[in-house]
Chains A and B, each alone.
Chain A
Amino acid sequence: EPEVTQTPSHQVTQMGQEVILRCVPISNHLYFYWYRQILGQKVEFLVSFYNNEISEKSEIFDDQFSVERPDGSNFTLKIRSTKLEDSAMYFCASSEQGASGNQPQHFGDGTRLSIL
């Protein structure tokens, strides 16, 4: 069964450094998302991406964050000048359609980001 894959599974970075989290969505999906889950808290929406542009972003997704689809298969989340509070599990998800189609979003297994 097709799945969303994320790399690396665990990233340890010094505060202030930049990190890039990588995702390969399911191949026929058109909508891509990033969510994060701080330990013990809810899964929170960060950003959605469609047709090579951001379609929606949350208040969390400020200028520190950016997303890119550099080629036909990868989808990346860049976090510049990381802070301690950026430590979390970051999930990539994809779906065939957006919410209007009520299609489920399928999630990868996440990247655990630890900021020291």
Chain B
Amino acid sequence: EDQVTQSPEALRLQEGESSSLNCSYTVSGLRGLFWYRQDPGKGPEFLFTLYSAGEEKEKERLKATLTKKESFLHITAPKPEDSATYLCAVFLTGGGNKLTFGTGTQLKVEL
């Protein structure tokens, strides 16, 4: 069965304390992996698309990387405004146009 697992479920960081979030997948075929940010009461906001192992994307304090089995979202020197739930989602080979989501990592950055 295709699965997308995110860890940790929750993470508390001090402002400036860098860390990484993990998205591991056991899927029959991966066509693309997406990272989204979700604020409370809001919809997922698109951050990055990754297509192939070795690919990296960056935006401000965030950097996403992809291997054959997992993706990491690295957060460098986070600020309180980075607090949100970060979602990983995949397009599967033969999966049509649907995104399969992980359960997310709830990040809280404190002063």
Contact = CB atoms under 8 A, between A and B. Distances in A.
A36 B102 CA distance: 13
A43 B96 contact: no
A43 B98 contact: no
Interface residues of A, number: 28
A15 B34 CA distance: 36
A98 B98 CA distance: 9
B45 A107 contact: yes
B38 to A, nearest CB: 8
Given A56-B97, A99-B96, A102-B51, A43 B87 contact: yes
Q: Select the residue from A45, A55, A104 with max chain B CB neighbours within 10 A.
A: A104
Interface of A: 4, 6, 31, 33, 35, 41-45, 48, 50, 55-56, 58, 91, 93, 95, 98-99, 102, 104-110
25 contacts: A31-B97, A35-B99, A41-B103, A42-B102, A42-B103, A43-B87, A44-B101, A55-B96, A55-B97, A58-B98, A91-B43, A91-B44, A99-B91, A99-B98, A102-B32, A102-B51, A102-B91, A104-B34, A104-B46, A105-B99, A106-B46, A107-B43, A107-B44, A109-B41, A110-B42
Interface of B: 31-32, 34, 36, 41-46, 49, 51, 87, 89, 91, 95-104
Identify the 7 closest CB pairs spanning chains A and B, nearest first: A107-B43, A45-B98, A56-B96, A43-B101, A102-B32, A98-B97, A104-B46
